[in-house]
């Protein structure tokens, strides 16, 4: 799955799935621009991409701000020449019961997960169209967006449902430009953000995080949660030549939690 000569942009690349994806793409030969709101973390990711022998640029940015998105794309093109691959991963959440979600909670989540994701996709697609050589867009959604009842936050689920919908429409409208658009829908994945949510839920139940993780694993047919590398492997495949005829798909990586 050689990506030699390709340039990828990965959002939310400071840790977790974004970081793992940046490293997987680098391992397959891509140069990688990495962006995250956490400046120190994203610089560490860029350093590791360079250690793998690839070029990288670290861009600290909040993709909930449209001006920042413009800057991320401009800085990527300035440093690495073009953009062939987007992994649209940045996202936020926390545990909230449906009766406790405020308008501020809703807006904070949708600002990044839905609004930010859409305009990163749109503006990167605009760059790809201008280049005239097609491209690959991989949006990170969630099984929460497909109505998985174990989701911890209805506002988060709605934001990821939006990502799924925008993926399908973008795939249809961008196909004429040879831009493939797909979404990955992770299930339970062991990341720092997910662990913070689990700490809240475990504390409410009076059990440890390890005990809660073990309980959750019993509900997963394959018997284990995802590591970030599981999501990264799928993203790298969807960015590869082997996925050239795959577009408009929402692919679960969840150990069988949601089957269809």
Of the candidates 236, 155, 248, 234, the one whose C-alpha atom is nearest the C-alpha of residue 187 is 234
Q: Look up residue 15 and give its two tokens.
A: 């840790």
- Sheet with 7-11, strands from edge to edge, namely 56-60, 31-36, 7-11, 85-88, 135-140, 179-186, 250-253
Tell me how crowded residue 130 is: count the other CB atoms within 10 A of its CB. Answer: 11
The torsion angle over the Cα atoms of residues 205, 206, 209 and 210, rounded to 10 degrees, is -110
Contacts of residue 85, Cβ cutoff 8 Å, sequence gap at least 6: 3, 6, 7, 8, 9, 25, 30, 135, 136, 137, 138, 239
C-alpha distances (whole Å) from 24 to each of 20, 253, 260 are 6, 16, 28
156 assigned to active site: yes
Q: How far apart are CA 241 and CA 223, in angstroms?
A: 31
C-alpha distances (whole Å) from 231 to each of 8, 17, 53, 156, 254 are 16, 6, 22, 19, 9
Q: Which candidate in 13, 156, 158, 182 is catalytic?
A: 156
Q: Which residues are part of the catalytic machinery? A: 156
């Amino acid at each position: 799955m050689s990506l030699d000569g390709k340039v990828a942009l990965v959002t939310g690349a400071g840790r977790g799935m974004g970081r793992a994806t940046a490293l997987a793409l680098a391992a397959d030969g891509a140069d990688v621009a990495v962006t995250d709101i956490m400046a120190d973390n994203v610089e560490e990711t860029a350093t590791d991409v360079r250690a793998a022998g690839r070029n990288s640029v670290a861009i600290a940015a909040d993709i909930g701000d449209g001006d920042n998105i413009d800057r991320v794309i401009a800085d990527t093109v300035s440093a690495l020449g073009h953009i062939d691959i987007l992994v649209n991963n940045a996202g936020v959440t926390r545990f909230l019961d449906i009766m406790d979600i405020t308008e501020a909670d809703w807006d904070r989540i949708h600002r990044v997960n839905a609004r930010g994701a859409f305009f990163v996709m749109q503006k990167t697609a605009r760059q790809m169209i201008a280049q005239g050589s097609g491209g690959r867009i991989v949006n990170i959604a969630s099984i929460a967006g497909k109505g998985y009842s174990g989701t911890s936050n209805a506002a988060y689920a709605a934001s990821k449902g939006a990502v799924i919908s925008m993926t399908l429409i973008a795939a249809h409208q961008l196909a004429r430009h040879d831009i493939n658009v797909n979404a990955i829908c992770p299930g339970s994945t062991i990341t720092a953000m997910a662990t913070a949510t689990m700490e809240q839920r475990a504390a409410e139940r009076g059990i440890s995080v390890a005990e809660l993780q073990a309980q959750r694993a019993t509900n997963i047919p394959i018997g284990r949660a995802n590591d970030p590398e599981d999501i990264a492997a799928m993203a790298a495949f969807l960015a590869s030549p082997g996925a050239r005829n795959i577009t408009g798909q929402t692919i679960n990586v969840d150990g069988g939690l949601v089957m269809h």
